[in-house]
Structure 1
Amino acid sequence: MGSIGCSNQLKGKFNKQMNVLLTGAFGNIGTYTLTELFKRGYQVSAFDLNSRANKRQALRFGRKLKIFWGDIRNPQDIQKAVASQDVVIHLAAVIPHLSATGINSEDRPELAEAVNVGGTRNVIEAILSQEHPARLILGSSLHVFGRTQRLLPPRRVSDPVSPVEHYAHHKVQMEQMVRTSPLVWSIFRFAAALPIRLIIDPGMFNVPLDNRIEYVHSKDVAIALSNALECDQVWGRTLLIGGGQNCQFYYRDLMKQILGAAGMREFPERAFTKEEFSTDWLDTEESQRLLNYQQRTLTDYVSEMRSKLGGLRYIVRMLQPLIARWLLKRSPYFK
């Protein structure tokens, strides 16, 4: 793991005896964070929807994990979960294409707002109702910066927000609620943390090939979140969490590697939009100094993807023409 760059690390209760609640615990980042927290001996609880997919994920952790099944839109559900917690890591959200593993925020904006904005409000109010309110780490996104390709990179925390998508507007509201609350808080804006699974989705065409994008491995995000629990310098700060300079790509280069790992060829440029997308390269110098989390690159992701797919890659390669035809028909830009 390496040493953390904080001058002061939290001692006593704010170490291994800390009670930590993770919302959205069985999502992409959540499952890696649960694993990392357990590895370090924290007292971990999970909050998530009682779905079949989440129950399958929960089986990995056995009885050692205390689970609160519920709907974050229901104040009573989250109220039970935050009781006696020292830190709440709030990751529960409905997210957009590329990162989405379920409902897409841009297809269901009203539901997404109820979960993202309303759910965050419920988390804050539930924490504040406790005799000893927990500290709160909010998972946010680089999407809040909006379309920034005309600007010189990298994006910095001091840059203004200019949200475009519903999801980004939600994140800006969530951040504002957290900052103006009486809680002890920290906000982590994540770069693109892609799930290690085969997701063949026409949403890939919604990013122009010359768009800057920063990747961060989900395991490294988990390290950053876990290290934050031992670093008192994160509180009251917004930090950018990305993979660093070795994980900064143009979208065409990112897609080439990911498609290759899945056994697919590249798609023609005219299948992709020309309208810029809300991603960019990030200045992660401060977050890396404090949290020392940047351990992996896209090469690790590609290797893990190949390993996970196994023989399925050869089936995908055989079916490449059919899959490509199906995807291209669903690209609104391909003429």
Structure 2
Amino acid sequence: MKNKIVGTTKRILLTGASGTVGFETLKHLVKNSSYEITVFDLKTPRSVKKFAPFKGCVEIVYGDIGNFSQVEEVSRNKDIAIHLAAIIPPAADIDPDLAYHINVKGTENLIRALEENSPHCYLLFSSSISVYGDRVNNPEISVTDRLKPSCGDRYGKTKVVCEKAIQQSNLSWSIFRLTAIMGNHKISRLMFHMPLDTLMEICTPEDTGRAFVNAIAFQCQLKNRIFNLGGGEDCVISYRSFLAKMFEAFGLGDAGFPENAFAEKNFHCGIMSDGSELDEIIHFRRQSLADHFEMVNQKINPIQKKITFLFRKLIKRWLLSQSEPYLAYREGNEKEIEHFFIKNKKKIVEPIFQ
């Protein structure tokens, strides 16, 4: 435990605590009685419900991180700021202006407020593997690799801007570039954007939240450094296999989609070849890919799974209708075809749903 920081009460600001990773981070934080925790989040029925059990042990402040005056109110006298607030895909693609407002302007507001009111604060920021762009053909990723978000990836581009702003700030900071965080994901049209041949490394929300909290004690070793955060070798799988296991878990049977329902390029994900460096310092990894699928199976109601199985063909036909790559070929949209596929000519193969 070399260079581990111990001492008096630490005053911690957590943004984005209602999100998947944020909520796990909050649960880890409250286990430590020496932390004074302030949560700053947007007020919604969902966030109010999620934070209800924490009243009395956590200060909850609602506001818009894109509004500087509201951010300034919660930035005073903070030792640690864990900044997880962000608009992620597909919402970031649907409303890029909102993504910029929250992701970029929100981060700039937080930096400015902390510099003015808590200049010695240590800022922990969640970036994304999306900053590396398309890595289907070279899936092993290092923090020294060039940052090149895929064409049309507005979310990845906002993270690059945020990273630069943090590095140019006067604060002490660490940036964790998160791999695919699998938890509470819903099947949507975004599933068709990832090429089936993508090698992906996941990390569970619980392990990711643990990483941010564990990092507090190791500021000396992490200060002003960027790390890739992934679940490790036990969390690597191809997207094709991952999708098959998820469909089976939900009662949807075999996927059965035509190959060109899925894009061939312009997404992200890969394997964090240097991800063990962070774990060797803060020791956050506890769960594997098998644990993820076990958690998925436990969450699915057996009765609902049986009902889903009965209607699996209809559900999968509806899902296919949401595939933008597939629709691009159906409609002959050359611009979209060029965006999603390596070759401009691909035969439409009808699905065989089972």
In the superposition, the TM-score normalised over structure 2's length comes to 0.87
The answer on 1:125 being equivalent to 2:112 is: yes
C-alpha change, 1:224 and 1:85, in structure 2 (3 Å) is same
Which residue identity does 1:163 align to in structure 2? P
Q: Which amino acid aligns with 1:111?
A: L
- Sort the Cα spacing of 1:188 and 1:246 in 2 relative to 1 into closer, same or farther, 3 A: same
Unaligned runs of 5+ in 2: 327-347, 349-354
1:179 is aligned, of 167, 185, 188, to 167
Cross-structure match for 1:49: 42
- Given candidates 28, 50, 56, the residue that maps to 1:36 is 28
- Measured after TM superposition, the shift of residue 276 of structure 1 is 4.5
Alignment check: 8 A CA contact 1:306 1:313 kept: no
Amino acid at match of 2:269: T
Which protein has the larger Cα radius of gyration, Structure 1 or Structure 2?
A: 2
Query: Which residue of 1 is the match for residue 195 of structure 2?
Result: 208
1-side partners of 2:256 and 2:58: how far apart?
A: 43
Q: Which residue of 2 aligns with 1:109?
A: 96
Matched, 1:80 2:73: yes
Aligned counterpart for 2:280 among listed residues 268, 289, 298: 289
Matched residue type, 1:80: E
In structure 2, distance between residues paired with 1:290 and 1:326: 46
1:218 aligns with 2:235: no
Question: How far apart, in 2, do the equivalents of 1:276 and 1:259 lie?
Answer: 24
Partner Cα distance (1:267, 1:292) in 2: 40
SS at match of 2:14: strand
- Secondary structure, in 3 states, of the residue corresponding to 1:264? coil
Q: Which residue of 2 aligns with 1:7?
A: 2
The change in CA–CA distance for 1:213 and 1:21 in structure 2 (over 3 A counts) is: same
Q: Which amino acid aligns with 1:271?
A: A
- In structure 2, the partner of 1:247 is 235
| Aligned counterpart, 2:260 | 270
Task: Name the SS for the 1:105 alignment partner.
Answer: helix
Deviation, 1:213, is 1.5
Please report the TM-score for the alignment, with normalisation by the length of structure 1: 0.91
Residues 245-280 of structure 1, C-alpha deviations (whole Å, 9 max, x = no match): 111121111111222222222242332122252111
Q: Could you say if the C-alpha distance between residues 255 and 287 of structure 1 is closer, same or farther in structure 2, counting changes exceeding 3 Å?
A: same
Q: Which residue of 1 aligns with 2:13?
A: 21
Matches for 1:320-331 after TM superposition, within 5 Å? 320-331=312-323
The alpha-carbon deviation at position 179 of structure 1 amounts to 0.5
Spell out, residue by residue over 1:69-126, the C-alpha distance to the aligned partner (whole angstroms, 9 max, x if none). 00011001111112121100000001114xxxxxx11111111111111000000001
Runs of 4+ in structure 1 off by over 3 angstroms are none
Counterpart in the other structure of 2:147: 161
Residue of structure 1 equivalent to 2:85: 92
The alignment's C-alpha RMSD in Å is 1.5
State the one-letter code of the partner of 1:235: K
Question: What's 1:146 paired with?
Answer: 133
Name the amino acid aligned to 1:206. Answer: H
SS in structure 2 at match of 1:333: helix
The one-letter code sitting in structure 1 at the alignment partner of 2:227 is L
Provide the rounded CA distance (Å) in 1 between the counterparts of 2:263 and 2:160.
25
SS of the equivalent of 1:39 reads coil
The AA in structure 1 aligned to 2:203 is V
SS in 1 for 2:40: strand
The one-letter amino acid of 1:189's match is R
Q: Quote the Cα distance in structure 2 between the aligned partners of 1:131 and 1:40.
A: 22
Between the aligned partners of 1:203 and 1:246, the Cα distance in structure 2 is 25
Structure 1 CA distance for aligned equivalents of residues 116 and 325 of structure 2: 50
Quick one: percent identity of the two aligned structures? 31
Letter matched to residue 226 of structure 2: T
Give unpaired runs (5+ residues) of structure 1.
Answer: 1-5, 98-103
Asked if 1 retains the 8 angstrom alpha-carbon contact of 2:180 and 2:202, the reply is: yes
User: Displacement of 1:200 after TM fit?
Assistant: 2.4
Inter-partner Cα distance in structure 1 for 2:192 and 2:136: 17
The more displaced of 267-276 and 109-118 is: 267-276
Tell me the distance in 1 between the aligned counterparts of 2:54 and 2:252.
34
Paired residues in the alignment total 319
Q: Name the structure 2 match of 1:230.
A: 217
How far 1:50 sits from its partner (Å)?
Answer: 0.5
Give the Å deviation of 1:131: 5.2
Letter in 2 for 1:52: P
